[in-house]
Structure 1
Amino acid sequence: MAVNVNVKKLKENATIPTYGTEYAAGADLYACIEEAVTIEAGETKFIGTGIAMEIPEGYAGLIYARSGLSCKRGLAPANKVGVVDADYRGELTVALHNHSNKAETIEPNERIAQVVITPFLSANFNQVDELSDTVRGVGGFGSTGK
């Protein structure tokens, strides 16, 4: 299933997101930078993609780490998962955090994250005095076993 998403290049050297394989869930986002950017250990830098998206109503763009970049080099979005709402029209920017113990460099046009376009449900939050009972109840972290 595919949904049309309009993408606007905000900078001439920006790259439109691409899928690595036919069945990939996430489309790669590319760094739209003029020169290499070094991210020191423990540091976060904002890396622009040079694009804006028109995500359809009822959908969101979720920005996730690229597995190779995060596992091999320790670079992943600082907020873990970025949420791009359907009414946002600004540049997609990734707050890239260096979780490693050494400086890492992002090159121009390097793949820095991936975006998954997904439908979502809006909730009507109803304040009540009581919630229904369940077997689990109020058991929190680790309460269902190892």
Structure 2
Amino acid sequence: MSFTNPTTHEPVPVRVKRLPGNEDLPLPAYATQGAAGMDVVASEDVALSPGGRHAVATGLALAIPPGFEIQVRPRSGLALKHGVTVPNTPGTIDSDYRGELKIIMINLGDTPFVIRRGDRVAQLVLAPVVQASWLEVDHLDETERGIGGFGSTGGLSALPG
């Protein structure tokens, strides 16, 4: 399976270090050829009570190339079947971070949920980053929406046909 940078069509290497005691765990991997995210597994056992949160260890440290980030996203099956998700989704792992990758998880369900070492807990998506610079101005251009905020483009009804 080969995944490529959409600009150069070359694979984007991400250096990964297994932290001591985690040599038995798989590296993050794509489950299918068309998967956008790589499944990452827990390196610890954790019991999440309803409403409980925990930064789940993965036993990995990364060196993400400059110009990229790793986005941490929930696994849809955990969210639908158990109410367990990633509360700050997508979480961002910056290219200059070298500590252990941990996945902040929360149990929004009504029963305790146990995470076992080796369980798939989240997805990782490598994404390009564009940094901004601010250009302060006195006036902004007008748009049809204008200053309309939350809900200003309509309610829950279907889009106009």
Q: State TM-score, norm by structure 1.
A: 0.94
Bigger CA radius of gyration: 2
Question: 1:128, CA displacement in angstroms?
Answer: 1.5
Question: 1:130, CA displacement in angstroms?
Answer: 1.1
Question: Secondary structure of 2:100's partner?
Answer: coil
Question: 1:135, CA displacement in angstroms?
Answer: 1.1
Question: 1:77, CA displacement in angstroms?
Answer: 1.4
Aligned structure 1 segments of 4 or more residues deviating by more than 3 angstroms = none
Hey, what does 1:122 align to over in structure 2? 131
| Structure 2: runs of 5+ lacking an equivalent | 5-10, 156-161
Bigger shift: residues 14-23 or 94-103: 14-23
Check conservation: 1:64, 1:82, Cα contact below 8 A. yes
Check conservation: 1:7, 1:51, Cα contact below 8 A. yes
| Structure 1: runs of 5+ lacking an equivalent | none
**Equivalences, count:** 144
Structure 2: distance between partners of 1:61 and 1:125: 24
Hey, what does 2:26 align to over in structure 1? 15
Q: Indicate whether 1:48 and 2:57 are aligned.
A: yes
Question: Secondary structure of 1:15's partner?
Answer: coil
Structure 1: distance between partners of 2:123 and 2:21: 21
RMSD: 1.1
**CA offsets, 1:40-87, max 9 Å, x none?**
000101210000111111110000001111111111112222100011
Q: State TM-score, norm by structure 2.
A: 0.85
Question: Secondary structure of 1:92's partner?
Answer: strand
Higher normalized contact order (CA 8 Å, seq sep 6+, divided by chain length): 1
Question: Secondary structure of 2:150's partner?
Answer: coil
Hey, what does 1:31 align to over in structure 2? 42
Question: 1:11, CA displacement in angstroms?
Answer: 2.9
Give the AA of the match of 1:40.
S
Give the AA of the match of 2:33.
E
Check conservation: 1:15, 1:49, Cα contact below 8 A. no
Q: Percent identity?
A: 40
